[in-house]
């Protein structure tokens, strides 16, 4: 593949590439240009000029172009799905669902953008402004760099690129190095749909190269990032030099709390569904299973039975539930985290091993609140650490004893318990009677504490990616 800069397909200026391989069977998918700061700078110079014209393009035309894009994605749907499966190892049914979501996200942002209203400001609240009229309009911020992780290469592309483009910003897209090809195909389709070649560009290369460049350039106005907390902090620091607008969607170690008033079928099926999705590599997956001691044994036994029935392996097969992790390095990290938890005193009831990049669904019993996994150790794999509790206050204390705060799930048929928990939990979302692994395009999605800054969704991102200008008509009402 090439990079997409200024309407052209180009190699990295340094001429080097890296390989992208299928994580399940190791086959070579493509070679990827290894862009560096000078490639990003070249794209940013082009974006600066192109954005000015794009901002002048009426919103109904921008909207029409983006709807053309959705039509082209539908045309190439199966080809893109195959790439999502091959490059990231995502189970094919999930890849189809994710690409469907991309279409919904684009359509929703297009619709919502036409409803973005400005404000009018009361002017008779102070003597010196009586007779004036003040109203506001929203304008694009300029050039955004969008940085996405490997785990949802097309859905997260949509959450960043759609609102940026429809509001008149230019985007420089930097996909994860493990999953660059789907983003490349989508960006080519943006061009085919009518987005100018300088308004949507794709530059590939290592994250550290773009991080260094972002800290130095004055050509970027905003950065929208989804990924780890560690990298998010670096971007915030780098962005300070030129006061970039920095939006951060970061890691999570989300609690899933089951009270003894729960429907056990719901508790078990939601636990499995939420944690096995994308083989556990989901930011808002339930990652700590906090179960009332009176039902812990029954929950654990049924969880183990349910997981034994999940097909594990080839992501290209329709009935596969748990595919591989994105790389051998990530799979080994999960095994190391399981072993570290066992060394602290946990017991493996199921799984605990890997075959290449495929990690077996793993249930860890006897996990106590003082262990790393019960606090800040985010495991990005299909692992179920079970932590017991007796009282409501204890459940809340364990749920909140993490630096993160993305999503949470609470399972109970008692609405008072559910609402009390939803109010007490420190998280951006609380889902009642389901896993916190839940996202609607219209929901303000994001986290508190070390999970980041900002919210995504139709009610939020369009405002974050635009700035409000006040226009004052002096003495017009006098
Ligand atoms: P990551 O290592 O932070 O990488 C994410 C992206 O950042 C990749 O494109 C990566 O490029 C790039 N990157 C790496 N170092 C960089 C730097 N110094 N400056 C700028 N960009 C840099 O995260 P990951 O391990 O792929 O993703 C998993 C994490 O993302 C988990 O913590 C998960 O919870 C979080 N996540 C959060 C959300 C949310 O909505 N809150 C959603 C999904 C995932 P390379 O690939 O080239 O290294």
Distance CA 92, CA 313 (A): 12
Q: Which residue, among 55, 56, 70, has the nearest Cα to 106 in the 3D structure?
A: 70
Residues near 227 by beta carbon (within 8 Å), at least 6 away in sequence: 147, 148, 149, 176, 207, 249, 250
Distance CA 253, CA 101 (A): 24
- Rounded distance from Cα 330 to ligand 1 centre (Å): 13
- Rounded distance from Cα 246 to ligand 1 centre (Å): 14
Residues near 236 by beta carbon (within 8 Å), at least 6 away in sequence: 246, 248, 453
Ligand 1 atom nearest the C-alpha of 177 is 46
C-beta of 443 in contact with ligand 1 (< 6 A):
no
Query: What is the pLDDT at residue 125?
Result: 87
Ligand 1 atom nearest the C-alpha of 234 is 18
C-beta of 176 in contact with ligand 1 (< 6 A):
yes
Distance CA 261, CA 292 (A): 9
**Cα–Cα–Cα angle for 333, 395, 457, nearest 5°?**
65
Query: What is the pLDDT at residue 305?
Result: 98
Q: Which residues of the chain have pLDDT under 70?
A: none
In terms of residues, how long is the chain?
478
Residues near 347 by beta carbon (within 8 Å), at least 6 away in sequence: 364, 365, 366
Distance CA 347, CA 365 (A): 5
C-beta of 151 in contact with ligand 1 (< 6 A):
yes
The sign one gets for the Cα dihedral 293, 255, 103, 227 is negative
In this structure, which long-range contacts are made by residues 440-447, counting pairs with CB atoms below 8 Å and at least 24 apart in sequence?
441/101, 441/104, 441/105, 441/108, 441/109, 441/159, 442/108, 445/249, 446/249, 446/406, 447/249, 447/250, 447/252, 447/404, 447/405, 447/406, 447/407
Ligand 1 atom nearest the C-alpha of 445 is 40
Query: What is the pLDDT at residue 452?
Result: 96
pTM above 0.75, yes or no: yes
Query: What is the pLDDT at residue 123?
Result: 87
Q: Which residue, among 215, 130, 124, 221, has the nearest Cα to 172 in the 3D structure?
A: 221
Residue nearest to atom 38 of ligand 1 (CA): 283
- Rounded distance from Cα 333 to ligand 1 centre (Å): 16
Cα–Cα distances in angstroms (integers) from residue 353 to residues 279, 302, 334, 359, 461, in the given order:
14, 21, 9, 6, 40
Query: What is the pLDDT at residue 444?
Result: 97
Pocket test for ligand 1, best of 151, 158, 175, 207 (most atoms within 8 A of CB): 207
Query: What is the pLDDT at residue 117?
Result: 84
Ligand 1 atom nearest the C-alpha of 231 is 3
C-beta of 210 in contact with ligand 1 (< 6 A):
yes
Distance CA 145, CA 222 (A): 6
Collapsing DSSP to helix, strand or coil, 137 comes out as strand
Query: What is the pLDDT at residue 361?
Result: 98
C-beta of 379 in contact with ligand 1 (< 6 A):
no
Query: What is the pLDDT at residue 88?
Result: 98
C-beta of 378 in contact with ligand 1 (< 6 A):
yes
Supply 310's token pair. 């999940």
Residue nearest to atom 16 of ligand 1 (CA): 207
Residue nearest to atom 21 of ligand 1 (CA): 207
Distance CA 214, CA 235 (A): 8
In this structure, which long-range contacts are made by residues 455-460, counting pairs with CB atoms below 8 Å and at least 24 apart in sequence?
455/428, 456/159, 456/247, 456/249, 458/108, 458/109, 458/111, 458/112, 458/163, 459/112
Collapsing DSSP to helix, strand or coil, 375 comes out as coil
Distance CA 415, CA 393 (A): 16
Ligand 1 atom nearest the C-alpha of 204 is 47
Q: Which residue, among 252, 314, 316, has the nearest Cα to 288 in the 3D structure?
A: 252
Distance CA 387, CA 385 (A): 7
Q: Which residue, among 209, 207, 187, has the nearest Cα to 199 in the 3D structure?
A: 187
What residues form DSSP beta bridges with 358?
A: 355
């Amino acid at each position: 593949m090439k990079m997409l800069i200024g309407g052209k397909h180009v190699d990295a200026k340094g001429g080097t590439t890296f390989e992208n391989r299928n994580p399940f069977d190791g086959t070579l998918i493509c070679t990827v240009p290894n862009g560096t700061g000078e490639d990003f700078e070249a794209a940013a110079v082009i974006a600066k000029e192109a954005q000015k014209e794009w901002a002048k393009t009426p919103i109904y035309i921008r909207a029409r172009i983006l709807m053309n894009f959705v039509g082209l994605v539908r045309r190439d749907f199966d080809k893109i799905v195959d790439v999502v499966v091959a490059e990231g190892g995502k189970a094919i049914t999930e890849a189809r669902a994710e690409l469907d979501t991309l279409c919904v996200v684009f359509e929703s942002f297009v619709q919502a953008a036409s409803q973005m209203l400005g404000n009018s400001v009361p002017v008779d609240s102070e003597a010196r402004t009586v007779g004036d009229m003040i109203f506001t309009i929203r304008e694009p911020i300029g050039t955004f760099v969008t940085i996405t992780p490997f785990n949802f290469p097309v859905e997260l592309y949509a959450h960043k690129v759609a609102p940026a483009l429809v509001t008149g910003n230019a985007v420089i897209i930097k996909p994860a190095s493990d999953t660059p090809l789907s983003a490349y195909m989508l960006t080519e389709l943006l061009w085919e749909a009518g987005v100018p070649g300088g308004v949507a560009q794709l530059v590939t290369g290592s994250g550290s190269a773009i991080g260094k460049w972002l800290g130095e350039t004055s050509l970027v106005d905003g950065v929208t990032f989804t990924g780890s907390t560690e990298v998010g902090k670096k971007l915030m620091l780098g962005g300070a030099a030129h006061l970039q607008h920095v939006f951060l969607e970061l890691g999570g170690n989300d609690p899933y709390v089951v009270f003894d008033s729960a429907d056990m079928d719901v508790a078990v099926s939601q636990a499995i569904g939420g944690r096995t999705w994308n083989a556990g590599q989901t930011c808002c997956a339930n990652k700590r299973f906090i179960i009332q001691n009176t039902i812990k044994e029954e929950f654990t036994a049924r969880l183990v039975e349910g997981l034994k029935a999940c097909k594990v392996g080839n992501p290209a097969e329709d009935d596969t539930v748990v595919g591989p992790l994105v790389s051998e390095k990530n799979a080994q990290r999960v095994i190391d985290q399981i072993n570290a938890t066992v060394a602290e005193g946990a017991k493996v009831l199921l799984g605990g091993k890997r075959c290449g990049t495929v990690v077996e669904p793993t249930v860890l019993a006897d996990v106590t609140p003082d262990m790393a996994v019960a606090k800040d150790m985010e495991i990005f794999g299909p692992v179920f650490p079970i932590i017991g509790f007796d009282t409501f206050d204890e459940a809340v204390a364990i749920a909140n004893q993490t630096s993160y705060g993305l999503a949470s799930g609470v399972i109970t048929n008692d609405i008072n318990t559910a609402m009390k928990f939803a109010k007490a939990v420190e998280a951006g979302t609380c889902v009642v009677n389901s896993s916190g692994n839940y996202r609607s395009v219209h929901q303000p999605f994001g986290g508190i504490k070390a999970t980041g800054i900002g919210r995504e969704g139709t009610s939020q991102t369009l405002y974050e990616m635009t700035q409000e200008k006040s226009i004052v008509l002096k003495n017009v009402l006098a």
